[in-house]
């Protein structure tokens, strides 16, 4: 325990898995760009963007960026009295280790006390991890997870990428409006057409 | 169980603009992009832990 508390005070985290790209690029600033990318949260089942959870990256995908996104997603999606919330993230084996510590240290981060986060890694990304991570973190092995791949945001990015290229040289405010608009459109169309894919409508008459 | 997916996207870059100070903001955290003011306060306070390898 001593080595853990020492490491917390020094803000050092021991790598217990591969050096993933998201971790590797964390501290690399980018010369000509003031925003190097975006990160966010969405519902794992339906793939709807969580309001207010899309954050800009300044130096790559840092833990502090995703911390804020997670806290905002939990605050804006009617969690209410729900206790167990599953959180699926590409590098959760490293990310969730000191998550509670980072929340406790920062008075801008609030999470309701009754919420218990269950961490998992998506079915695609988990195979880029060490072998032990598959059984520890893959959603297939999380009791109560249902059948989710945990990669739905990749499909949402694919659509968003067609428009985000056009926002590279827009003003920051205009870029925000365009991205907001297209994410809103994605959620809206999903709500309109989700009935076509429900179990009931798939049963032939 | 309510489930969330988190992910980053490096295609949505933004290049520094000369006229960013004359930018007109219509929203600030009301839709999907987060509230920039509170986010920047958080980033200024947050400390990133340094990764060291096990060996």
* pLDDT tens by residue, B7-53: 999 999 999 988 777 889 999 999 999 999 999 999 999 888 777 77
Q: Which pLDDT belongs to residue B21?
A: 78
Flag the least confident range among A115-119, A121-125, A190-194. Answer: A190-194
Q: Which residues of A touch B2 (CB under 8 A)?
A: 43, 77, 79, 82, 84-86
Answer whether A26 sits within 8 Å of B48, measured CB to CB: yes
Q: Where are the domains of chain A?
A: 22-151
Who wins on pLDDT, A83 or A23?
A83
| Residue ranges of B 1-55 with Cβ closer than 8 A to chain A | 1-17, 19-20, 23-27, 29-35, 38-39, 41-43, 45-54
Answer whether B49 sits within 8 Å of A86, measured CB to CB: no
**Cβ pairs A/B, distance under 8 A:** 237
Q: At what angle do helices A172-193 and A152-164 cross, to 10 degrees?
A: 130
Answer whether A180 sits within 8 Å of B12, measured CB to CB: no
Q: Which pLDDT belongs to residue A49?
A: 96
Is the pLDDT at A142 greater than 90? The verdict is yes
The reply to whether ipTM tops 0.95 is no
Whether the Cβ atoms of residue A123 and residue A167 lie closer than 8 Å to each other: no
Answer whether A52 sits within 8 Å of B52, measured CB to CB: no
Calculate what percentage of chain A has a pLDDT beyond 70.
86
Q: Which residues of B16-52 are buried (b: 16+ CB within 10 A; e: fewer)?
A: ebeeeeeeeeeeebebbbbbbeebeebbeebebbebe
Q: Which pLDDT belongs to residue A127?
A: 94
Residue A29: band (very low, low, confident or very high) from pLDDT cuts 50, 70, 90: low
Q: Tens of pLDDT along A163-192?
A: 999 999 999 999 999 999 999 999 999 999
Q: Which residues of A touch B10 (CB under 8 A)?
A: 36-37, 57, 60-61
Q: Which pLDDT belongs to residue A99?
A: 93
Is the pLDDT at A133 greater than 90? The verdict is yes
- Over residues A63-78, the mean pLDDT reads 95
Is the pLDDT at A22 greater than 50? The verdict is yes
Q: Which pLDDT belongs to residue A24?
A: 56
Answer whether A172 sits within 8 Å of B23, measured CB to CB: yes
A104 vs A188: CA distance, rounded Å: 36
Chain B residue nearest residue A66, CA to CA: B6
Dihedral sign for Cα A173, A175, A26, A115, please: positive
Q: What is the pTM of this model?
A: 0.89
Q: Which pLDDT belongs to residue A6?
A: 53
Q: Which pLDDT belongs to residue A26?
A: 58
Chain A residue nearest residue B14, CA to CA: A168
Instruction: Give the CA count within 13 Å in the CB-facing half-sphere of A165.
Output: 4
Query: Does A129 reach chain B within 8 Å, measured CB to CB?
Result: no
Q: Which pLDDT belongs to residue A42?
A: 97
Answer whether A180 sits within 8 Å of B20, measured CB to CB: no
- Over residues A53-72, the mean pLDDT reads 93
Answer whether B42 sits within 8 Å of A68, measured CB to CB: yes
Q: Which residue has the tokens 């006229």?
A: B19
Chain A residue nearest residue B30, CA to CA: A52
3-state secondary structure chain A: CHHHHHHHHHCEEEECCCCCHHHHHHHCCCCCEEECEEEEEEECCCCCECCCCEEEECCCCCHHHHHHHHHHHHHHCCCCCCCEEEEEECCHHHHCCCHHHHHHHCCCCCCCCCCEEEEEECCCHHHHCCHHHHHHHEHHHCCCCCCCCCCHHHHHHHHHHHHHHHHCCCCHHHHHHHHHHHHHHHHHHHHHHHHHHCHHHHCCC
């Amino acid at each position: 325990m001593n080595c853990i508390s020492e490491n917390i005070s020094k803000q050092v985290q021991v790598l217990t898995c591969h050096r993933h790209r998201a971790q590797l690029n964390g501290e690399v600033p980018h010369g000509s760009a003031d925003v190097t990318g975006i990160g966010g949260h969405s519902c794992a089942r339906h793939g709807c963007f969580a309001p207010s959870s899309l954050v800009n990256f300044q130096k790559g995908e840092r833990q502090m960026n995703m911390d804020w996104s997670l806290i905002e997603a939990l605050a804006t999606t009617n969690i209410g009295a729900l206790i167990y919330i599953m959180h699926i993230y590409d590098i959760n084996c490293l990310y969730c280790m000191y998550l509670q510590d980072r929340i406790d240290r920062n008075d801008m981060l609030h999470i309701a006390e009754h919420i218990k986060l269950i961490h998992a890694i998506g079915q695609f990304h988990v195979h880029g991890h060490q072998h032990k991570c598959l059984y520890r973190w893959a959603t297939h092995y999380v009791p109560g997870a249902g059948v989710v791949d945990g990669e739905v945001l990749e499909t949402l990015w694919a659509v968003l990428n067609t428009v985000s290229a056009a926002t590279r040289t827009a003003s920051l405010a205009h870029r925000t409006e365009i991205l907001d608009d297209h994410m809103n459109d994605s959620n809206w169309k999903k709500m309109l057409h989700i009935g076509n894919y429900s179990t009931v409508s798939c049963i032939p008459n | 169980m309510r489930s969330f997916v988190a992910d980053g996207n490096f295609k949505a870059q933004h290049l520094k603009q000369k006229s960013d100070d004359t930018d007109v903001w219509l929203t600030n955290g009301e839709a999907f992009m987060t509230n920039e003011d509170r986010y920047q306060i958080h980033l200024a306070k947050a400390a990133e832990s340094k990764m060291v390898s096990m060996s």
